[in-house]
């Protein structure tokens, strides 16, 4: 079945540590996105990538980094510079044509700083 897989589902981080959230898709989508969800804040865009080896900052990129070495994969690293990383993180992908213009989402990763 085609879809987006995020791992792990739950992640705990000690202060000062970097952690990497995985996102893999087998939908053959060109674009991939990372959103952060906090209570009452909706979904806010962290980074997005429209093609391999290229990505752009979203509205809240500070303290995060990404890479896009393969079309299928778009990992997100939460660095120690992110002062308030506890949140729910959603990865999504999309394609510009073919009658399917919506974004498809993974099941999310809940990150908690301990």
Partner 1 sequence: AQTVTQSQPEMSVQEAETVTLSCTYDTSESDYYLFWYKQPPSRQMILVIRQEAYKQQNATENRFSVNFQKAAKSFSLKISDSQLGDAAMYFCAYRRWAGNTPLVFGKGTRLSVIA
Considering the complex, state which of residue 45 and residue 80 has its C-beta at the smaller distance from partner 1: 45
Hey, how many other C-beta atoms are within 10 angstroms of the C-beta on 19? Answer: 19
State in angstroms the smallest separation of the CB of 80 from partner 1: 26
Residues within the interface to partner 1 (CB under 8 A): 30-31, 33, 35, 40-45, 48, 50, 58, 88, 90, 92, 94-96, 101-103, 105, 107-108
State in angstroms the smallest separation of the CB of 18 from partner 1: 24
State in angstroms the smallest separation of the CB of 30 from partner 1: 6
């Amino acid at each position: 079945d085609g879809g987006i897989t995020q791992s792990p589902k739950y992640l705990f981080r000690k202060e000062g540590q970097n952690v990497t959230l995985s996102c893999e898709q087998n939908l053959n989508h060109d674009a991939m996105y990372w959103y952060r969800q906090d209570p009452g804040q909706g979904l806010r865009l962290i980074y997005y990538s429209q093609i391999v080896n290229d990505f752009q900052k979203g509205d809240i990129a500070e303290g995060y980094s990404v890479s896009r070495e393969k079309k299928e994969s778009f990992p997100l690293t939460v660095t120690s510079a992110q002062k308030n990383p506890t949140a729910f993180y959603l990865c999504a992908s999309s394609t510009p044509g073919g009658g399917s213009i919506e974004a498809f989402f993974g099941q999310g990763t809940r990150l908690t700083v301990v």
